[in-house]
Amino acid sequence: MMRDHLTEIIVFTFLFLLVSAMGFVAARWRAPRDMAHLDEWGLGGRNFGGWITWFLVGGDLYTAYTFVAVPALVFGAGAMGFFAVPYTIVIYPLVFLVLCRLWSVSHRHGYVTPADFVRNRFDSPILALLVAITGILATMPYIALQLVGIEAVLKTMGVTGESTIARHLPIIIAFAILAAYTYQSGLRAPALIAFVKDSLIYIVILVAVIYLPYKLGGWGDIFNAADAKFKASPAPGDGILLNANNQLQYITLAFGSALALFLYPHSITGVLASRNRDVIKRNMSALPAYSLLLGLIALLGYMAIAAGVKPLPGATQGSVDGNTVVPLLFDQQFPDWFAGVAYAAIGIGALVPAAIMSIAAANLFTRNIYREYLKRDATPAQEANVSKITSLVVKVGAVACIVFLDPQFSIDLQLIGGVIILQTLPAVALGLYTRWFHRTALIAGWAAGMAMGMWMLYQVANPTTGKKHFAGSAFPLSEFGFDTKKTIYVGIVAVLVNLAVAALLTLVLRAAKVADGVDHTTPDDYFADEGDPRVVPGAERDADSAREPVA
């Protein structure tokens, strides 16, 4: 098996090792005075300009899993999978408005994580702890998904073995290398590697969308082939257009995913690492270039239909692994060496976000658990060290998820992850605009939203795969007693419940005059920019994030 793919494997391995070397060198890139500081290791010195931020945030949001799973969804379900396009359009204006404020307040107070902000804004270590734990829990399966992306590629190249260990050895090696250079270089590693990743992906996709339609008889034929397939299939929800029942699901999923994505700690890390507000705003108008890429990648699913690709078998008997659709399409349609380049693009595409995610999770642990609860007087060097070690632990955990659990399980967990991270919206995103919500009400809202989200996800069944629970994010409105076949994205409903509880309880607590702590930020903080005279100087910055700047 492997011998048939020798060229692909050589090209893949070569490019993979090349970027690994870059990862180690990155420690010296834009050389910091002192790497033993969380601002340096975890945020790249908070000094990234326009281009680096573009690649870093882009590499953050468009992951290997996106490149593999979105086309797989389009291959299987059609129009529904295209939700990724409106989703990545809606994100940028939202960030433009909201995360600029987070950048400013974080810049002035030296916050590294969203939980740092929540702690000071609402004067509530408990709320901050909830935000931190939610972030870590939601990020872990996301990292595991990156491995699912690499695995799809390896599987297509025939790099699989019989025993559990042999099958996963390449992934374990890849992640060991990733862990080593992230440990050494911090956020600088993915920032540097992202250049290579994106260059490769752009080349591959441009070639694919020009060459493949030419080979397959043109776009019209590709869409007609997909249409014919979905018309013949018995599944009710598929088709190259949406039907009356899944339009609400389409828009709520797109909107909810957009809200969730920028609450994920790794996206926030990418934004906080930029040099100033201007860099963020400029990026938000330039980053949609990736959305165009994503739309074209999604259509690879239809090309695979037109090319007659049959996905490889999945982990259990009789199932198919839809994630192998795109790698198989490349394998069939491209010369071996170019397929190797494409695989490397996907593989490296997994390393960049996995590194950023593990750094973000590690920062949350260090700032909001270690320093808050274990060692109050931690020095910046100790913080950086704890973060480095935590990032290793997080990656080991992600690998364990893939090796010992069914990868499908990681996909289900990630689904839950999106719903739970949305529950930090009132505290983090709305908190940037208003302190009207009472801290206790926010905690109650979080709990209510979580409970609602979990209950709804538990109810979602998929008759096609025979799964009774956690089989998707489309909640049938008939479960609420409506006489309809329409479905809605679970996350949206859960966050609405969260907001309703938080708002009601706020009114009650305000009426009862329950103490609400002190807001350690000022309205002015939300507009601060690079060169702000009131920024806490670097040396003191991490001594105590709650410290008030001297006016």
Partner 1 sequence: MAAPEPEAPTSARSRAKDHSPWNWLLFIPIVVPLIPAFFNADSPRLFGFPRFYWLQLAWIILGVATTTLVYQMTKKRGDR
A 10 A CB-CB count for 507 gives 11
* Amino acid residing at 31: A
Residues in contact with partner 1, shown as a per-residue x/- string from 27 to 66 under the rule CB under 8 A:
----------------------------------------
**Which residue, 166 or 374, is less far from partner 1 as judged by CB?**
374
| Rounded least distance, CB 258 to partner 1, Å | 9
97 near partner 1 (CB under 8 A)? yes
**524 touches partner 1 (CB under 8 A):** yes
Residues 485-504 interacting with partner 1 (rule: CB under 8 A): none
318 binds partner 1 (CB under 8 A): no
Q: Is 286 a residue that touches partner 1 (CB under 8 A)?
A: yes
Three-state DSSP string of 132-160: HHHHHHHHHHHHHHHHHHHHHHHHHCCCC
Q: For 440-471, b where at least 16 C-beta lie within 10 A, e where not — what string?
A: bbbbbbbebbbebbbebbeebeeeeeeeeebb
| Strands 487-489 and 474-476, sheet pairing | antiparallel
Stretch that binds partner 1, among 91-99, 179-187, 361-369, 382-390 (CB under 8 A): 91-99
Our finding on whether 263 is near partner 1 (CB under 8 A) is no
Tell me if 456 contacts partner 1 by CB under 8 A.
no
Residues sharing a CB contact under 8 Å with residue 342, sequence separation 6 or more, in sequence order: 204, 208, 327, 330, 334
Residue placing its CB nearer to partner 1 in the complex, 156 or 487: 487
Residues facing residue 489 across a β-bridge: 474
Q: Which of 30, 229, 435, 547 binds partner 1 (CB under 8 A)?
A: 547
Using CB under 8 A as the binding rule, whether residue 250 contacts partner 1 is answered as yes
Query: Distance (Å, rounded) from C-alpha 395 to C-alpha 354?
Result: 8
Q: Which helix (H) or strand (E) holds 342?
A: helix 336-365
Give yes or no for a contact between 290 and 283, defined as CB atoms under 8 angstroms apart: no
Q: In this chain, which of 23, 42, 44, 86 binds partner 1, going by CB under 8 A?
A: 86
**The three-state (H, E, C) secondary structure of 293-327, written as one string:** HHHHHHHHHHHHHHCCCCCCECCCCCCECHHHHHH
Q: Which stretch binds partner 1 (CB under 8 A): 148-156, 218-226, 402-410, 472-480?
A: 218-226
546 binds partner 1 (CB under 8 A): yes
- Residue 471: φ, ψ to 5°: -95, 10
Element holding 192 (H helix, E strand): helix 188-216
Nearer to partner 1, 177 or 201 (CB): 201
Cα–Cα distance between 13 and 21 in angstroms, integer? 12
**What is the closest distance, in whole angstroms, from the C-beta atom of residue 267 to partner 1 in the complex?**
17
Which of 27, 90, 212, 271 binds partner 1 (CB under 8 A)? It is: 90
Q: Tell me which residues in 104-123 interact with partner 1 (CB under 8 A).
A: 123
The residue (of 285 and 379) whose beta carbon lies closer to partner 1 is 285
Residues 6+ apart with CB under 8 A from 500: 445
Q: How far is the CB of 425 from partner 1 (least distance, A)?
A: 15
Token match 């906080």: residue? 272
281 is an interface residue for partner 1 by CB under 8 A: yes
Paired tokens of 239: 């088709």
CA distance 261 to 166: 34
Piece in contact with partner 1 (CB under 8 A), picked from 64-72, 92-100, 303-311, 325-333 = 92-100
Asked if residue 334 binds partner 1 (CB under 8 A), the reply is: no
Helix (H, G, I), strand (E, B) or coil at 389: helix
On whether the CB atoms of residues 35 and 27 are closer than 8 A, the answer is yes
Among 527, 539, 540, 543, binds partner 1 (CB under 8 A): 527
For residues 356 and 381, give the distance between their C-alpha atoms in angstroms, rounded to a whole number: 20
Contact between 512 and partner 1 (CB under 8 A)? no
Q: Is 137 exposed, middle or buried (0-12, 13-18, 19+ CB in 10 A)?
A: middle
Q: Residue 336 or 529: which CB sits closer to partner 1? A: 529
Least distance from partner 1 to the Cβ atom of residue 436, Å = 17
Measure Cα distances from 13 to 6, 109, 245, 338, 412 in Å: 10, 43, 45, 13, 30
Kindly state the tokens that stand for 23: 């990862």
What is the pattern of x (binds partner 1, CB under 8 A) and - over residues 220-249? xxxx----------------xxx----x--
Of 16-24, 290-298, 419-427, 454-462, the window that binds partner 1 (rule: CB under 8 A) is: 290-298
**If residue 476 lies in a helix (H) or strand (E), which one and from where to where?**
strand 474-476
Q: Binding of partner 1 at residue 336 (CB under 8 A)?
A: no
Least spacing, CB of residue 372 vs partner 1, in Å: 12
| Site residue total, partner 1 (CB under 8 A) | 59
Residue 210 as a binder of partner 1 (CB under 8 A): the answer is: no
Closer residue to partner 1, CB minimum distance, 514 or 546: 546
CB of 437 to partner 1, least distance (A): 19
Judged by the rule CB under 8 A, the positions of this chain that interact with partner 1 are: 79, 82, 85-86, 89-90, 92-94, 96-97, 100-101, 123, 213, 218-223, 240-242, 247, 250-251, 254-255, 278, 281-282, 284-286, 288-289, 291-292, 295, 299, 518-520, 522-524, 526-529, 534, 544, 546-551
